[in-house]
Amino acid sequence: MDPVTGGVAKAEQITDSEDLKAATAQRAAVGKATVTLLAAAQGAVQANRGSRAVSILPDLKDGHPVAQVTLLQAGAFTTVSEKLD
């Protein structure tokens, strides 16, 4: 992703089967989501004052879309789950 424009800077074909499996699951989760990943990250940060979101991955849990948000606070990483529906 191009940090200036927000556009895709480079795209590569996924050839590794595990990467393809993960990408397919992430696409399914985003397809069912009614909450954006940005809103989920903001919610996680708001619920964990003083933290920063450093990673977010969509996933399906029991058929419902969720976001696994990795936060950094005081030099320690924590992962929290935010609902996307």
Q: Which residue has the tokens 């976001």?
A: 67
C-alpha to C-alpha distances, 47 to 18, 52, 64, 76, 83, nearest whole angstrom: 32, 11, 21, 16, 13
Q: Quick check: pTM over 0.85?
A: no
The tens place of each residue's pLDDT in the chain, 85 residues long, gives 676 777 888 888 999 999 999 999 999 999 999 999 999 999 999 999 999 999 999 999 999 999 999 999 999 999 999 999 9
